[in-house]
Amino acid sequence: MTDKVIAYQGVEGAYSHLACQNAFPHSRSIACESFEDAMELVENRTADLAMIPVENSTAGRVEEIYRLIPKSSLFIVDEHFEPVNHCLLGIPGSTREGIRYVASHPQALAQCYKNILDGNLTAVARFDTAGSAREIRDKNEPAWAAIASKLAAELYGLEILEEYFGDLRGNVTRFIVLSRENTIPKLETDKAYITSVIFQVRDIPAALFKALGGFATNGVNLLKLESYSMTGSLQVSRFHIDIEAHPDEEHLKRAMDELRYFAKEIKYLGVYEKHPGRENYKLI
């Protein structure tokens, strides 16, 4: 996919920026202050796509995204898995032993929690990883460090004090790619697909059990089930499911017929190819 404009949350050097470069190497990336801003750029046609993180193998889901997607008019057209290697970065001349404070995005701090604790460091939450690196550069104090990528170190002239600062090796973040167009790929038997749907169950006993039962009886695998309360209520829940099937497959058609009987406000979020390396990643 060439000559596309991809919006992402963060500043240059953020992991979302890296994901854009790796997934769409011939496209242009636009940095945004928030996930909502990135999605809005696609909605108003300033950008073609948005690269949005949804879960991490160490820190779990990015809950904010599951609340934003139902409000959006965008569709999921692809998924991307980006390896995350957190580096401890300091200003030139600083030392690992001299660091007292470490700044980064809350997700990155959570993914480095044990090393932060073992190092007796004070964690300081910031808007994003690369933004923290830029702040450390501007602060220019040897007691401060940032958790960010190698790319951020290069962009902001920082030294890598510890290259593998994350608590776990093999850390990876799953991104979804959002588009204005609901592009549904044609079913091909040699490919695997994911269909993402959100719905609300009817107010009847065991409604969720009955709604999901159709997937089991028709042999349809669910890759993800997320639930969250709808705005203004603690009693009404919305459910997000990722289904390992294409809507044109007969067993999914039958399962969706059963879902419609027990659920309401069903919305298709998108149909896209399953990432070929997904089995190599173990997400929470």
Write down all domains in the chain, each with its CATH number in brackets: 5-83+172-179 (3.40.190.10), 87-162 (3.40.190.10), 193-280 (3.30.70.260)
What's the chain's length in residues? Answer: 284
The CA distance from 127 to 20, in Å, is 19
- 173 tagged catalytic: yes
SS3 assignment for 111-157: HCHHHHHHCCCEEEECCCHHHHHHHHHHHCCCCEEEEECHHHHHHHC
Estimate to the nearest angstrom the gap between the alpha carbon of 35 and the chain centroid: 10
pLDDT tens digits, 210-264: 989 999 999 999 999 988 776 555 556 789 999 999 999 999 999 999 999 999 8
The CA distance from 243 to 137, in Å, is 44
The residue type at 123: A
Closest CA to 207 of 251, 247, 239: 239
The CA distance from 284 to 281, in Å, is 10
Q: What is the pLDDT, as a whole number, of residue 2?
A: 57
Q: Take residue 146 and report the two structure tokens written for it.
A: 């940032």
Number of C-beta neighbours around residue 249 at 10 A: 17
Q: Token match 């964690």: residue?
A: 123
Q: Take residue 135 and report the two structure tokens written for it.
A: 């702040």
Contact 203, 237 (CB under 8 A): no
The residue type at 200: Q
* pLDDT by 10s per residue, the chain, length 284: 558 999 999 899 999 999 999 999 999 999 999 999 999 999 999 999 999 999 887 777 887 888 888 889 999 999 999 988 999 999 999 999 999 999 998 989 998 999 999 999 999 999 889 999 999 999 999 999 999 999 999 999 999 999 999 988 888 899 999 999 999 999 999 999 999 999 998 888 888 899 899 999 999 999 999 887 765 555 567 899 999 999 999 999 999 999 999 998 899 999 999 988 777 776 65
Q: Which of 175, 199, 215, 262 is catalytic?
A: 175
Contact 75, 39 (CB under 8 A): no
- 215 tagged catalytic: no
Q: Which of 127, 129, 165, 173 is catalytic?
A: 173
Q: Take residue 128 and report the two structure tokens written for it.
A: 């994003």
Closest CA to 30 of 10, 44, 15, 45: 10
The CA distance from 37 to 207, in Å, is 36
